[in-house]
């Protein structure tokens, strides 16, 4: 029995016969031609022929705002591609479903529903939400992540001190900046050794475990060696710029049994792929489903409220793609990011729930009382949000002066 992976597209055109276009896609991206084939050959080729699943045409609405989706003529098209046509890897699937087609006018890839056979070839997250929580021993609240800032040009003692101050704030994870590459001042083994030593020292004061997501960079052929080098030095998590390297590179890392630490996927370069209405790949597929399928345990993406803003419906769709039940595939932590401060915590918890990560850079380092106080302010805000208490009330509790200073500086998002 033939199994299929199904792609969903949104094609825009004022005059096109969308049913004819769908038939052309199904044939053109699989067997190339059909009506010209002899009948005997059709029997042999049918198992390779793409199939039109559905075509839903949307005509413009007369009273719609100019430029809005409702004001345009488009069709949502579903095409099923036989698994027999491609190898069981994400690059092969992407080239089949949207390689040449991505250059064929105004068309956007909205979704990919993979077959059970294809999914079986993808490991998904090695740890997932449950496994990351188990490593940290934290089960009842959103996790808190902080980010190194101003790391280029810093030496190891400076980096270690910055890490230590963040760790004192009670964060659960600290990640490298995505632009921190291998360099003479902070080579990966020495960087890991210094930061893990700082984590152990901070744990004596905070009493909590901490994951350090070390940025894995370099030539693609050397990524696994770099990851293992970092782990040998003590790294207990990895950060990876997935879209610069490709989903297959992430899958190689996730599949390797010697890389036994959670992997956080950074969205760098995603803005070149998802934002256009008429082109590219929908964010819930790019940063949600495919990241999870390839093996990311945590996935960063722009939040709806910070400094790099993504529409709220898109961010929620990403989070849903990362967490919704998907057979044996483990769920991944959604990490809405960019411009996050303690005053945003209630809306983050409301919109993304407990199974999410609050991720902050400037919201930690920019705290008027220092980075340690910045982390503490976030923890106080998370506790208040879970109690259903207004941050202004929580800020007046004894011992919550860190939260008070944070909301005096940044305010509270309603």
100 is catalytic: yes
**DSSP assignment of 152-173, as one string?**
TT--HHHHHHHHHHHHHTT-SE
Q: How many residues does the chain have?
A: 414
H helices present in 169-222, as ranges: 188-206
In the 8-state DSSP scheme, what is residue 275?
-
**Residue 359 pairs with which residues in a beta bridge?**
145
Buried/exposed code over 197-233 (b: 16+ C-beta within 10 A; e: otherwise): ebbeebeeebebebbbbbbbbeeeeebbebbbbbbeb
Question: Which of these is catalytic: 47, 100, 160, 229?
Answer: 100
Q: From CA 88, how far away is CA 163, in angstroms rounded?
A: 40
Token code pair at residue 147:
């980010």
Neighbouring C-beta atoms of residue 89, cutoff 10 Å: 16
- Sole residue written with tokens 């059909």: 34
CB neighbours of 274 closer than 8 A, spacing ≥ 6?
Answer: 280, 281, 282, 283, 286, 287
55: three-class secondary structure by DSSP: strand
Secondary element (H or E) of residue 358: strand 357-360
CA distance 167 to 376: 10
What span, in angstroms and rounded, lies between the C-alpha atoms of 227 and 232?
A: 9
Count the Cβ atoms, other than its own, within 10 Å of residue 184.
6
Beta pairing, strands 74-82 & 51-58:
antiparallel
Pairing, β 143-147 against β 173-175 = parallel
Q: What is the residue whose two structure tokens read 């360099």?
A: 183
Beta bridge partners of 80: 6, 51
For the annotated catalytic residues, the residue numbers are: 100
């Amino acid at each position: 029995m033939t199994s299929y992976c199904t792609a969903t597209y949104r094609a825009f055109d004022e005059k096109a016969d969308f049913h004819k276009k769908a038939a052309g896609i199904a044939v053109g991206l699989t067997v190339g031609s059909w009506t010209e084939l002899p009948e005997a050959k059709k029997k042999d080729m049918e198992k390779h022929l793409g199939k039109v699943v559905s075509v839903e045409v949307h005509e413009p609405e007369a009273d719609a705002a100019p430029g809005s989706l409702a004001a345009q003529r488009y069709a949502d098209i579903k095409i099923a591609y036989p698994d027999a046509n491609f190898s069981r890897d994400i690059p092969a699937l992407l080239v089949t479903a949207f390689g040449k087609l991505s250059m064929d006018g105004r068309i956007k890839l909205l979704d990919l529903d993979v077959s059970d056979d294809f999914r079986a070839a993808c490991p998904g997250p090695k740890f997932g939400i449950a496994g990351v929580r188990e490593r940290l021993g934290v089960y009842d609240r959103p996790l808190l992540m902080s980010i190194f800032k101003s790391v280029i040009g810093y030496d190891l003692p400076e980096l270690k001190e910055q890490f230590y101050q963040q760790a004192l704030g009670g964060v659960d994870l600290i990640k490298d900046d995505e632009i921190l590459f291998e360099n003479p001042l902070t080579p990966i083994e020495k960087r890991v050794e210094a930061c893990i030593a700082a984590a152990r020292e901070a744990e004596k004061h905070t009493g909590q475990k901490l994951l350090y997501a070390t940025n894995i960079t370099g030539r693609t052929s050397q990524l696994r060696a770099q990851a293992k080098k970092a782990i040998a030095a003590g790294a207990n998590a990895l950060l990876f710029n997935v879209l610069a390297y490709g989903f297959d590179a992430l899958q190689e890392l996730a599949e390797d049994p010697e890389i036994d630490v959670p992997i956080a996927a950074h969205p760098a370069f995603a803005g070149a792929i998802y934002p256009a209405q008429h082109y590219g790949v929908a964010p819930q597929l790019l940063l949600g489903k495919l990241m999870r399928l390839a093996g990311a345990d945590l996935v960063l993406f722009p939040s709806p409220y910070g400094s790099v803003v993504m529409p709220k419906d898109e961010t929620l769709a990403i989070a849903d793609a990362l967490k919704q039940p998907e057979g044996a595939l483990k769920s991944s932590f959604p990490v809405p990011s960019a411009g996050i401060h303690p005053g945003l915590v209630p809306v983050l918890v409301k919109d993304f729930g407990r199974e999410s990560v609050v991720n902050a850079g400037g919201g930690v380092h920019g705290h008027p009382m220092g980075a340690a106080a910045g982390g503490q302010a976030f923890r106080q805000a998370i506790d208040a949000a879970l109690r259903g208490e207004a941050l202004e009330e929580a800020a007046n509790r004894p011992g919550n002066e860190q939260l008070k200073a944070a909301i005096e500086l940044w305010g509270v998002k309603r």
